[in-house]
Amino acid sequence: MSSIIAGRLEDLPSSIRHRLGTFRHQVFVQRLHWEIPGVPHDALSEWDAFDGSATVHLVALSLDGEVCGCARLMPTTGPYLLRDVFPELAGPDFPPSSPSVWEMSRFAGSGLPDHRTGSTSGMSLFPYAMALAISFGATRVIGVVSRSVARLYRRFGLDLHDIGAGTSPDHTDIVACAIDIDATTFQKIQCDPDALLNSISFFGHPCLPEHGTPVQPHVPRPSSAESGNIAPFTADGKRTIPARPAI
């Protein structure tokens, strides 16, 4: 992994935006066979209705500039998957609508270095996503995840909480989950959130829900990314090799 960048879709360089769409289609449509409205199997990229102006994309680039990981973060004050696609998974107190609760989806990674073991792990991008969420004022990240992926997250060291109503008759293999992001969370996975955030190159300015106006992220940096095993929060229980993605 040579660099990690983040930004709204409209702020990312067009070449990276194109490669991100292609990567997502390869992972979620071609490998996992997700049925995504408006995205045919033979399309060249994968985008959906939740890739709007409030959504922030996290992208990992390999040494040769190819996308090798991604995630997207959405504030729960606007449209998001748990509320608008999987409401049957939400309990009486859910789904939330709070500037401190963000949803993570479309998380996947391939061959990313894990500093804790010296090996590679698709989960290595996850701490960066949590650090980025903290910089936006989040104290909790939620998502829809298959039971097998929930076990993967827990093995990584994440304290994953089931939320909402559990499963539904139509979706017995997926649940709504949450991770509280604080100092203890990062201690368990042996990561420094400030160091993670410092290594992310941010394009543009996110539109944070508290103010509804562009706000500078915690640690923006100019990026050289333009020149320069898949793991997932998923709503599909299928496992592929080498892919393991999430919603």
For residue 118, what pLDDT is reported? 61
What CATH number does residue 47 fall under? Answer: 3.40.630.30
Segments forming the whole domain that contains residue 185: 3-203
Question: Quick check: is 246 in a domain?
Answer: no
Is 50 inside any structural domain?
Answer: yes
Residue 173 lies in a domain: yes
Q: Say what the pLDDT of residue 1 is.
A: 55
| Residue 243, in any domain of the structure | no
Whether 189 is in a domain gets the answer: yes
State the total domains in the chain. Answer: 1
Q: Which residues of the chain have pLDDT under 50?
A: 211-244
What is the pLDDT, as a whole number, of residue 196? 94
- Name the token pair of 197: 């955030």
Find all residues with CB under 8 Å of 16, minimum gap 6, and list them.
5, 59, 61, 67, 225, 226
C-alpha pair distances (Å), 160 with each of 10, 73, 166, 185: 32, 17, 13, 10
pLDDT at 168: 58
pLDDT of residue 110: 81
Chain length of the chain: 247
E-strand ranges in the chain read 3-8, 56-61, 67-75, 101-109, 140-146, 161-163, 174-180, 200-203
Q: How far apart are CA 245 and CA 25, in angstroms?
A: 12
Compute the chain's Rg from CA coordinates: 16
